[in-house]
Amino acid sequence: MKIAILVYPGMTALDAVGPYEVLAQLRGAEVSFVGRQRGPVTCDTGALTLLAEKSIDEVPLADVLLVPGGPGDQRARADERLLSWLRAIHAGSRWTTSVCTGSLILGAAGVLEGLKATTHWLRLEALADYGAKPVAARFVEAGKVITAAGVSAGIDMALHLAAREAGERVAQAIQLSLEYDPQPPFACGAPQKAPEALVEAVSGAFDGIMAERMAKLEQAGS
């Protein structure tokens, strides 16, 4: 099973790496990190660089497509060559998936038209710009398209996908091998659960932090 994980400058690493750890354990999984071209891809903090082992031109087909999010999504959404690759991969995929604002990139590629979908809680409304129906959920399965909420939601989504592909027992074994028995120190990981003041503080700071990260990356020439 060919699994193509898109990587692009300004992506959030955990969006990709969480699901990758799950999906790479599926029997017969061939995971490729795929960039616009081969080579280093700097993630959103500027501190972590992943290698794109293949360019989009080298990957004409995939069974599973995974599109991570991050502040670099804006540039990705404006990249016609990339969007056209996503459309082509989606046309032949068994599953087309995203984490966080990766769904906005899928949206820009036209993949979400008429579908229920989700994304990072701070970007939910933007999904409607692409004809999607925003849903506040950990992940949303709509036909073969599965979109996950912000960053860490990709792990839950990937375990769900593993169960859909290989059965619950396999997914459970993967979950146990990753010791995925989350015990978050606070009960505030979603806006519905967090105190209002915290939601407001994060909402107020988020755009600035993302813009700052992208400005730093652009300065560094990524």
Q: How far is the CB of 161 from a copy of itself (least distance, A)?
A: 10
Of the two residues 200 and 218, which places its CB atom closer to a copy of itself in the complex? 200
CB atoms within 10 A of CB 98: 33
- Closest C-alpha among 95, 82, 88 to residue 141: 95
Query: In angstroms, what is the minimal distance from the CB of 17 to a copy of itself?
Result: 4
Measured in degrees and rounded to the nearest 5, phi and psi for residue 114 equal 80, 0
Q: If binding means CB under 8 A, how many residues of this protein chain bind a copy of itself?
A: 65
| Euclidean distance between CA atoms 107 and 202, whole angstroms | 25
The one-letter amino acid code at 75 reads R
CB distance 193 to 208 below 8 Å: no
Least Å from the CB of residue 102 to a copy of itself: 13
Residue with tokens 């969006």: 15
Dihedral pair phi/psi, residue 217, rounded to 5°: -65, -40
- For residues 130 to 169, the per-residue mask of contacts with a copy of itself, x marking binding by CB under 8 A and - elsewhere, is --------x----------xxxxx-xx--xx--x----xx
Query: Among residues 48 and 131, whose Cβ is nearest to a copy of itself?
Result: 48
Q: Which two tokens stand for residue 127?
A: 């999904």
Tell me which residues touch a copy of itself (CB under 8 A).
Answer: 12-14, 17-18, 20-21, 24-25, 30-33, 40, 45, 47-51, 53, 100, 120-121, 138, 149-153, 155-156, 159-160, 163, 168-169, 171-173, 175-186, 188-191, 193-194, 198-199, 201-202, 205-206, 209
Residues designated as active site? 100
